[in-house]
Structure formats: structure tokens, C-alpha cells
Amino acid sequence: MPTVLETDRLSLREFTEDDAELLFALDTDPDVMRFIGPFMPKNVDESRQKIRSWIDKYYSTGRGLGIWAAVEKSTGAFLGWFCLRPGCDWMFAHLSGWGPDDLELGYRLHKAAWGKGYATEASRAIVRKAFDELNAKRIVSSALLSNVASWRVMEKVGLKRVQQFPLPGYDSPDVTYLLTRLEYRLQAASEAP
């Protein structure tokens, strides 16, 4: 299980099929899925299949992209996942206008991990990696407008809201966020000592 990224408190590593039960527990918690939608797996095998068919494919692209398991360093606990993947892979990318150069930042954590700044901490590191190491042009992200915690993370790591539009099948509109490489460089320069 190669480690992909480390922050002060978190380690991001690749998923393996052995994580199927952990992923199943995360994806079947109604509170976790509240703003995501009706995508709950029916059983652990379905989660294993998701790791095989959906998650594994990113690791073999050699682009440094992926959906990575987040582990709390101090306890070794599985907290959930973060992702950096082609924006066009989002099922509603045709509505958001994301193009082939866009990389999407995403996250999903267990309730016990919420409110500790973990999503902000890992997302900041992913954004840095995307621009500094992977030569990303633009980072994009999206959430339901009602999912305040999610879009607050985007804002805290420097993404700017660009649009709001109705999402088919959802009560809340969706908001999309964006950070260009130039904006990232300007932010980094303004934060430099």
C-alpha cells in the first residue's frame, strides 16, 4: 500500500481490496451520504468491486491521480478518502463545463473525523501536489449548496466559487469551485515570508 502523501496528522495511501469493509461502512452511513446521493453499496462485495473497477484504474494511469485512503497517523485509524481525478469523470461534468485539463478535488470522511480540520489539511496538501508536482492547470470541485462543510473546505484551500446550477434529482443546487495555476502561484507568493 504505497503512501501517496503525508501531512502533519494524516497519511494518504492507495486502497487495496482489503479495504472493502472499511469503504462499505463509510458509504453506508446515511449522515456521510446525506449530501451525496443514493449511491450506497448493497454489500461488502460491491465495495470490493468498486475498489477494483473504479479506484484501481486511477493508480495505473501513472498520472499521480487517485482516490486515496486517509489514515490518522496517531492512531492508524481509517478516516475516509480524498481524491484528485480528472474533472470529466464526474457524472455531471457535462453540466459544470469542466474540461480535460481540470482535476477534481474530492473528499469523504467518517463522522468521527469531522470538525478537526482534516479535510482542509489534506486538501491543501493535494492542491500543492497537483500544481507543484503534477503540473495541474486547474483544480475544480463541487458540492451541493446545502453542504456547507464541503464548500467551506474548498474556500479554505483557495478555490473560488464560479457558478451555481440545478442538479438533476437533487433538492439543492450545486456550486462549483475553481483554482487556476496562476491564482495558486499568486496566493503562494502572497503567503511567502
Ligand X SMILES: CC(C)(COP(=O)(O)OP(=O)(O)OC[C@H]1O[C@@H](n2cnc3c(N)ncnc32)[C@H](O)[C@@H]1OP(=O)(O)O)[C@@H](O)C(=O)NCCC(=O)NCCS
Binding site for ligand X (CB under 6 A): 32, 35-36, 80, 107-109, 114-120, 143, 147-150, 152-153, 156
CB of 62 to ligand X, least distance (A): 27
Strand 102-109 to strand 138-144: parallel, antiparallel, or no bridges (unpaired)?
parallel
In the numeric block, which cell numbers belong to residue 189?
A: 507568493
Say if residue 49 is exposed, middle or buried (CB neighbours under 10 Å; 0-12, 13-18, 19+).
middle
Strands 3-6, 10-14: parallel, antiparallel or unpaired by DSSP?
Answer: antiparallel
What minimum distance in Å lies between the beta carbon of 135 and ligand X? 25
How many residues make up the chain in this entry? 193
Minimum Å gap between C-beta 81 and ligand X is 9
Least distance in angstroms from the C-beta of 129 to ligand X: 17
Give the nearer residue to ligand X in terms of CB position, either 71 or 143. Answer: 143
Question: Minimal CA–CA distance to 36: which of 21, 26, 51?
Answer: 26
DSSP summary character for residue 44 = H
Shortest CB 190 distance to ligand X, Å:
19
User: Closer CB to ligand X, residue 112 or residue 182?
Assistant: 112
Nearer Cβ to ligand X, position 4 or 83?
83
67 beta partners = 83
Q: Is 35 or 59 the residue whose CB approaches ligand X more closely? A: 35
- What's the distance, CA 134 to chain centroid? 16
Q: Which is nearer to ligand X, 20 or 80 (CB)?
A: 80
